[in-house]
């Protein structure tokens, strides 16, 4: 099928070679979209797109902080371009700020020109180290703008602000997804996030490195649930930011012990100093997503972890 026939939605995914972006590309193609995937490949990988065999898919290598040119119409834009793991955004602090600011500005300008509906991938990190628990969308956050995590947190907070301004000033159809911790296939083994780090360490028999005393909490959503929520948000008419995540909370130490157990690992759990401004708690209030989108996570954590571990064994061992 040719998109020129007018029978396909034409959709741009920025950061489409990343973890979430590549799963989104898969999902959209199955939904019948013609997908243009744009990625600079600074942190994304073409390996994440290898499974896509479709004439409804186009990859463009491009840095969206530079001028973006797309021929023809666009119906939807999913803006997922950004380093997202602590290892990546600490390695590329200025690129992270630029893609959140200049990149988002360029994407919104493109959406305005093409009259496309645009969804911005924001993050639970806009809440910083929260003083409200669980975190709801009305909470303004507790962020240190000059701390090490500030480059990511403030890039996303700015992205939300400029997206809201484009909606109010230029009537661009915008959506803002505040994405909480997500896990699944295609995560990098060394990206600094708890699940892939612990899984790789346990399978390798290396020490499982827990920061602080391990009593800080996180909530983990399977990638298939997350992508479903993102799509439902785009297809809704809801403009303000909305939380997407799994409210089932677990301590980091409990997670380390669980992964050690299910991998039958002989690894030792070791404790290391807590990184600066590391959030003590992270749990989404998803009342709005349930009510407005009719969405909540469905994938059982044990089932999701089993799938991830099998994938890690196949890819890395």
Residue-wise pLDDT tens digits, 80-94: 999 999 999 999 999
- Give yes or no: residues 158 and 198 share one domain: no
**Residue percentage of the chain with pLDDT more than 90:** 94
Q: Report which of 148, 155, 179, 173 is spatially closest to residue 246, judged by C-alpha positions.
A: 179
The reported pLDDT for the residue numbered 114 is 98
Q: How many domains does the chain have?
A: 2
Q: Residue 39 falls within a domain, yes or no?
A: yes
The reported pLDDT for the residue numbered 61 is 98
Catalytic residue among 92, 152, 166, 200: 152
- Asked if pLDDT for residue 166 goes beyond 60, the answer is yes
Mean pLDDT calculated for residue range 171-193: 96
The reported pLDDT for the residue numbered 184 is 98
- Give yes or no: residues 240 and 174 share one domain: yes
3 — pLDDT class (breaks 50, 70, 90): very low
Q: Does 152 qualify as catalytic in the annotation?
A: yes
Domain that holds residue 265: 194-216+249-281+305-316
What is the chain's Cα-based Rg? 19
Q: Residue 189 falls within a domain, yes or no?
A: no
- Asked if pLDDT for residue 276 goes beyond 90, the answer is no
CA 268 to chain centre: 30
- Give yes or no: residues 107 and 46 share one domain: yes
- Give yes or no: residues 103 and 45 share one domain: yes
- Give yes or no: residues 204 and 153 share one domain: no
Q: Residue 188 falls within a domain, yes or no?
A: no
């Amino acid at each position: 099928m040719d998109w020129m026939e007018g029978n396909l939605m034409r959709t741009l995914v920025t950061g489409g070679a990343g973890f979430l972006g590549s799963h989104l590309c898969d999902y959209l193609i199955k939904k019948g979209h013609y997908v243009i995937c744009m990625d600079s490949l600074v942190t994304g990988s073409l390996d994440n797109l290898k499974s896509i065999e479709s004439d409804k898919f186009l990859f463009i290598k491009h840095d969206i902080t530079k001028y973006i040119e797309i021929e023809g119409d666009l119906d939807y834009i999913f803006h997922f371009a950004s380093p997202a793991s602590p290892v990546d955004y600490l390695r590329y602090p200025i690129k992270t700020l630029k893609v959140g600011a200049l990149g988002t500005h360029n994407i919104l300008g493109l959406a305005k020109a093409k009259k496309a509906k645009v969804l911005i991938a924001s993050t639970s990190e806009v809440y910083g180290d929260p003083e409200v628990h669980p975190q709801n969308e009305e909470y303004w956050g507790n962020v240190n703008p000059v701390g090490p995590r500030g480059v990511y947190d403030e890039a996303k907070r700015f992205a939300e602000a400029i997206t809201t301004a484009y909606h109010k000033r230029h009537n661009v159809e915008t959506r803002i997804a505040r994405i909480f911790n997500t896990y699944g296939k295609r995560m990098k083994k060394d990206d600094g996030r708890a699940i892939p780090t612990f899984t790789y360490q346990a399978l390798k028999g290396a020490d499982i490195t827990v920061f602080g005393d391990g009593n800080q909490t996180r909530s983990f959503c399977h990638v298939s649930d997350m992508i479903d929520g993102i799509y439902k948000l785009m297809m809704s008419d809801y403009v303000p930011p909305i939380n997407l995540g799994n409210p089932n909370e677990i301590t980091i130490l409990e997670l380390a012990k669980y992964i050690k157990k299910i991998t039958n690992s002989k690894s030792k759990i070791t404790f290391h100093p807590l990184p600066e401004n590391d959030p003590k708690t992270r749990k989404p209030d998803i009342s709005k997503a349930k009510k407005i989108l009719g969405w909540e996570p469905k994938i059982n954590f044990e089932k999701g972890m089993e799938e991830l571990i099998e994938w890690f064994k196949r890819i890395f061992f």
